Amino acid sequence: MAVTLPAELMWKATAQDLRKDLDLSNEEVCSLMELTEQVKAHPSRFARSLAGRYLSLLFEKPSLRTRLTFELAIKQLGGDAVVSTGPVAEREPLKDVARNLDRWTQGIVARVFQQETIDEMARWSSVPVINALSDLYHPCQALADVFTIREQFGETRGLKVTFVGDGNNVANSLMLTATRLGMDFTLGCPAGYEPRPEIVSDAMALAAVAGTHIEIVHDAAKAVAGAHAVYTDVWASMGQEREADQRRQNFLPFQVNEALMAKARPDAVFMHCLPAKRGQEVTDGVMESGQSVVFDQAENRLHAQKALLLMMLS
């Protein structure tokens, strides 16, 4: 039997699913930050909060942090998980998969190649579907990232976050989430590697309400100037292997090295969602420097996902 949480921790997400970052309201993102802090500081208070609840974990892509932290999160909250790897709908229609899983478990976490898989799964599932990565969004990563920034600086409003590299799923989610918490966001990328215009438009609308600023530039030094956090990711994601050689040439001026980090604020932190290709998008010196918080980010995946599960499954 699940325990009753203290009244001040009784936050329930209004959205059925987390298909993309905007499924959580601004208020819910703020509440999740507070709940993540409580979960991290007092894990024993939540050890039986989701007893009797089970997750289906679906992984079309290999995973270390996402898979292990979701498995640990549900187990440390008193529940459990079952895992399936490989294509989600290879043997039967996706709508049939969804309606099987929702009979057996209380939530579905999926790491997939296409956003359409997440959307279709959510359409047919009667239990929450959580996007653990798609080609367009990585909301769970962004929640852990903004929590890490909050930990490092004690606040989020007034900070500048710079993402250097591809306008990919991680950049999309970070842009959509950081701006809502009062952070300015700059993307430094080669021409032709900007995020989808409709996602930038969504982020711009959020920024206008929050009083924050979004900028996309094609100069790495300009992008990181004055940044509190400098973030990067691999230049070629899974599924882009054929483009890897061309991408290495195009992205070389955007490598996060010691010289580039020196153009950010003296107290700036370096961030990476991992795994990192050291010597490509980031140097080993930056990864191992005192400015690097990449393993804090990795740890906080566990705590932020615990908070998310509490909000969506409790």
Active-site position among 180, 272, 301, 303: 301
Summarize pLDDT for 222-253 with one digit per residue, the tens: 999 999 999 999 998 877 778 889 999 999 99
111 is catalytic: yes
Given the residues 76, 141, 291, 297, the one annotated as active site? 141
The CATH class that applies to domain 7-138+300-313 reads alpha beta
Identify the active-site residue in 65, 67, 111, 228. 111
21, 53, 273, 291: the active-site residue: 273
Count of Cβ atoms closer than 10 Å to residue 15 Cβ: 15
Sign of the Cα torsion 158, 163, 167, 169 reads negative
Question: Does the annotation mark 272 as catalytic?
Answer: no
141 is annotated as an active-site residue: yes
Q: Letter for the amino acid at 109?
A: V
Q: What is the pLDDT of residues 34-56, one digit of tens each?
A: 999 999 999 999 999 999 999 99
Encoding tokens for residue 304?
């932020």
pLDDT-based confidence at 157, cuts 50/70/90? very high
Query: Given pLDDT bands bounded at 50, 70 and 90, which one contains residue 4?
Result: very low
Q: How many residues does the chain have?
A: 314
- The domain at 141-297 falls in which architecture? 3-Layer(aba) Sandwich (3.40)
In 3D, which of 137, 134, 159 has the Cα closest to residue 148? 159
Average pLDDT over residues 112-127: 98
Could you tell me the pTM of the whole model? Answer: 0.95
For the chain, which residues make up each domain, given as ranges? 7-138+300-313, 141-297
pLDDT tens per residue across span 190-202: 999 999 999 999 9
- The H-assigned helical ranges of 163-255 are 169-178, 197-210, 220-224, 244-251
For range 88-98, the mean pLDDT: 96
pLDDT at 12: 63
Residue with tokens 């790495």: 220
Q: Do domains 7-138+300-313 and 141-297 have the same CATH topology?
A: yes
23 pLDDT above the threshold of 60: yes
Which residues, at least 6 apart from 313, have a Cβ–Cβ distance to it below 8 Å?
50, 53, 79, 106, 107, 128
